[in-house]
Amino acid sequence: MQFRVLGPVSVTTANGGPLPLGPAKRRSLLAMLLAHPNTPVGVERLTEALWDEEPPRHARTVLQGHVSRLRAVFAQYDAAAHGVELLTQGAAYRLRLPEVLVDAHRFEESLRLVRRSADPGRAVEVLREALGLWQGPAFAGTVHSAPLEAPAQALEELRLTAVEALARAYGQLGDHGAAASVLRAEAAAHPLREPLVAHLMLALARAGRQADALDWFHRTRKLLADEIGVDPAPVLTDAYHTLLRTDAHTRADAHVDTRAGTHGHGHGHAHADADHETVRPPAAVPHEAAAGPAATPQLLPRRPRGFIARQDELAALDRITTATPGPIVTLTGSAGVGKTALAVHWSHRRRAEFPDGTLFADLCGFSPTPARDTRAVLREFLLALGVPVERMPGSPAALGARYRELTAGRRLLVVLDNAVDSEQIRPLLPGGDECVTLVTSRDRLDGLVATDAARPVTVGALPAADSTALLAAVLGPESVAAEPEAAARLAGLCDGLPLALRVAAARLATRPHRGLASFAGELADEQHRLDLLEAEDTGVAAALGLSLRHLPEPARWLFHHLGPHTGAALDTCTAAALADCPPPQAALALDQLAAAQLVVETGPQSYVLHDLVRLFARSLAPDHEPAGLLRLLDHWVQTLLAACAVAEPGGEPCCALPPGARRSAEIRRFADRTGALAWYSAERGTLRATVEAAVAAGHHDRAWRLVLLQWPLIVWQVRDGWVPLLEQGLASAELDGDPAAQSRASALLGWVLSEEGRPEEALTRLERAPDLAVRAGDFAGEAVARINLAVALMRYGDRERPGGLLADALALAEREGLTETVTLAHQHLAQHLLSVGAAAEAAAHAARGLALAAPPLAAPRRVVLRTLHGEALAAVGRTGEAVRQLHEAIREARANAYEEGETAARVALAGLSERGPDRGPDRGPAWSVVARGRSTVSGHRSGPRSGGSPRS
């Protein structure tokens, strides 16, 4: 049995299998005990570690539960046989175990062994093995709290000490390249750790990479000034002066050697100042070099194979590069979207227009290798432009000046690929107005747009048709033609991302027996999709990981919490809930993610998170998912409550927040009913996936709420396939043991089944609903259940029971003060009474309903009641009043873009001239035309609600 804290906290058995430790808080409990092995840790200290903020009142009970479950896991895997036991000692717990089972202990023992050894070879062997124990940040996957961060930071300091010791050992063995390689990654991750940077500088210099070493000094000096406003410490400046002295001696020796090779003797001086060129005697310069370079560089990579479409982007490039002098164009987009392919394809297509040549450099901004040093790129460009090595300028300023001098007045194309930021690009911009510069980056490069008038061209995902065309280009058109539907599905699962499409095609090309349909079926499994889109060292996850590595810490931190999200649309409030942070902090991080093209900004505080990016986020922090999912579910419940209140104002909500729900700091605001319904419609797919996630995680108390709170859209799009969702809501209510929720879900499901023309199933659900509400003591739910049952019975021709059900519902609603339900009962009583010939009573109920249906109740309710009132008045011979009511119904329906209501009122008005005051009892009201019509929320069109509301 092995305990690991150098990375995600875990326990593995002898065969390598991990123990099921459970959620983050349980791992945090184990982490605290492992941080203090064989030592009692008090309950208060453990509570502080598990709840960074104010702990809940029942924190001690929760803690005891986690202890009990850890003991059960230990017992299941026979931990006692390994000497492992979780003991209670008063108000503390102690984890008794042999410390050699903990990787942190073995790591520290290795460091102590190295300190006692004088053999650098042995030190390299031990330190490499010790550092290999690390699988990520110490105590990963635990709660962010001070009691855990302190030992994690202490271990991180020891790890960096080990890295520096390993570099020293390599240096003692004379392998300075290996020393620099070890130090470079850590210096990039800890750019303000000056001793680390100093060691790296010296290692680089000893490896013959003087320019890189000096570059690290200047980069670190600038960062210190910009970030914390201080000058470099002596450890850094001492290393810098050491390099300068070495550089001066090296240049002087090189100068003497050159003169001796030409004349047999001589003297010379080389400037050690990095801001001046080395001075060389004219006699050492060949005449051809002095005359100036005349080379025509051609550095473009080969034309990309299988390039598809991108007509809009190619046209934008053509337009910008012909209309602007000295244009700079930025091609920006997410990882794997095909920016480089587009840039190279366009460059080859327009190559003839650049008679003075093409320059190309991969700046490695987002790649496993370090970003290219600007001076190295400038030297490469100058060599291509014909500058001989012996005339190469020495300082960055001189390199840049020579480059701009040589490119001024020339018709050159400069392609700067994979730039990390605007600062990396600016020194590489050519001089003059005849050059065209094309830059690709995952960053939006707003700085370059602001300071250098760069013109941005965004490269997005491929449309569906182009995605399938790309598959056909790689697999062959016959493969796609044989399975067109599977090809379209496969393209959709790849998010239109060329990298994903090419990897998928590569897998299929090497395994032709699988077929497109089979592979698309495998990709549909979100758990394995990213794994299937990896091919050797190329893949979606690897590309996205490189984007993430270059982000500021707030953006990285937020991204790690986005995995539980279930849809594409993402707003600031939802991101804040997922990450458990203030909305302004989430807004800043989302802006940084948008700048890096990991999310797409679609409006103020609104973004899109594509599926592959979301799955990648989920893969990074599975231990945080349970807590993050619960926060997301509670946030959605609160947002749905707010949407209900705006979409259907005037009544009490159909449910409250679940017990123990965490309140979001901020939720979306809805300006009006139209906006709320539009949001419901847009988020329908996301909400369905959220319900599925809640059910899968066993949060049935959230699942049924997420279903029922969609009722405003359900009743307005009633025949739009809601039955499976409502059946899941009912099942979750049953699993939650909540009869009130079961009643409301049954009533809503029964009404939808009735609207779909499934009477037997509908009545089965509707007949159960009132009794369930009575059992729960839910008077509001009982009233709604009786109304829905009555409406269904009316539809199926029952002329007896509906009247009693509606009268009972009206009495219940009036007794409980449920104004909206009272209004609904009057509406359906009026409809029922009209159908049985009791027009006078119908008119009275319609009038009472109208008196209650003042704003904020939705206007469609008033239109329906006025139409019913008009028909009832006409039936008792009060034609003038009837005409006035129907005209008012038409006016209000038109004012609220309620087309079906307007049509029903006009039908009723037209019928007045065709019938006398004695209306036949068997004629249904015009309202029935609307009640049976399909409801919709597309555009401004909407239909009324004849029942079905699960709220009071």
Tens of pLDDT, residues 720-747: 889 999 999 999 999 999 999 999 999 9
* Phi, psi (rounded to 5 degrees) for 558: -65, -45
Answer for the pair 558, 581: CB distance below 8 angstroms, yes or no: yes
DSSP classification of residue 19: P
Task: Round to whole Å and give the CA distance between 669 and 740.
Answer: 28
| pLDDT per position as a tens digit, 681-695 | 889 988 999 999 999
What integer pLDDT is reported at residue 276 of this predicted model?
A: 29
Question: How does pLDDT run across 745-765, given as a tens digit for each residue?
Answer: 999 999 899 888 898 999 999
- CA 327 – CA 455 distance, rounded (Å): 8
Q: 264: pLDDT confidence band, cut at 50, 70 and 90?
A: very low
For the chain, give the mean pLDDT.
Answer: 82
Contact 809, 747 (CB under 8 A): no
Distance of CA 543 to the CA centre of its chain: 15
pTM beyond 0.85: no
Ranked by mean pLDDT, the top range of 86-90, 260-264, 327-331 is 327-331
Find how far residue 183's CA is from the centre of its chain.
32
Predicted confidence band at 950 (pLDDT cuts at 50, 70, 90)?
low
Beta carbons of 93 and 41 less than 8 angstroms apart: yes
Token reading at 693 = 């996630």
Position 13 scores a pLDDT of 83
Query: CA-CA distance, 581 to 664, in Å (whole number)?
Result: 10
Strand duo 569-571 + 606-608: pairing: antiparallel
The DSSP H or E segment spanning 95 is strand 92-96
**Residue, of 321 and 929, whose pLDDT is higher:** 321
Give the pLDDT confidence of 273-288 residue by residue, as tens digits.
Answer: 333 232 232 333 333 3
- pLDDT tens by residue, 32-84: 999 999 988 888 889 888 987 778 777 888 888 899 889 989 988 888 888 99
Whole-number Å distance between alpha carbons of 940 and 951 = 24
Mean pLDDT of 649-661: 83
Tokens 């690709």 belong to: 440
- Reading across the β-sheet that carries 358-362, which strands appear in turn? 358-362, 413-419, 436-441, 328-332, 455-458
Query: pLDDT, tens digit, for every residue of 186-228?
Result: 888 888 888 889 999 999 888 888 888 888 888 888 888 877 7
CA distance 158 to 85: 28
Residue 699 has pLDDT above 60, yes or no: yes
User: What average pLDDT does range 227-255 have in this prediction?
Assistant: 69
Predicted confidence (pLDDT) at residue 326 exceeds the cutoff of 50: yes
pLDDT of 265 strictly over 80: no
Any residues with CB less than 8 A from the CB of 770 and at least 6 apart, and which? 743, 782, 785, 786, 789
pLDDT in tens, 778-810: 898 899 999 999 998 998 888 889 999 999 999
Q: Where are the alpha helices (DSSP H) in 836-898?
A: 839-852, 859-875, 879-895
Instruction: State the first-to-last Cα distance of the chain, in angstroms, to the nearest integer.
Output: 58
ω before 856 within 30° of 0 (cis)?
Answer: yes
Measured CA distances, 398 to 123, 359, 404, 427 (Å)? 44, 19, 10, 11
Q: CA torsion, points 444, 448, 452, 457, in degrees to nearest 10?
A: -20
Task: Output the six-digit token pair for 949.
Answer: 């509301």
> What is the reported pLDDT for 501?
83
Which amino acid is residue 871, in one-letter code?
E
Tell me how far apart the alpha carbons of residues 698 and 692 are, in angstroms, rounded to a whole number: 10
The answer to whether the beta carbons of residues 501 and 587 sit under 8 Å apart is no
User: What average pLDDT does range 367-376 have in this prediction?
Assistant: 76
Question: DSSP characters for 623-673?
Answer: GGHHHHHHHHHHHHHHHHHHHHHHHS-SS--S--PPTTPPPPS------SH
Is 80 exceeded by the pLDDT of residue 145? yes
- pLDDT of residue 924 exceeding 80, the answer is no
Percentage with pLDDT > 70 across the chain:
88
For residue 736, give the 3-state DSSP assignment: helix
* Structural Rg of the chain based on CA atoms: 36
Is the pLDDT confidence value at 941 over 50? Answer: no
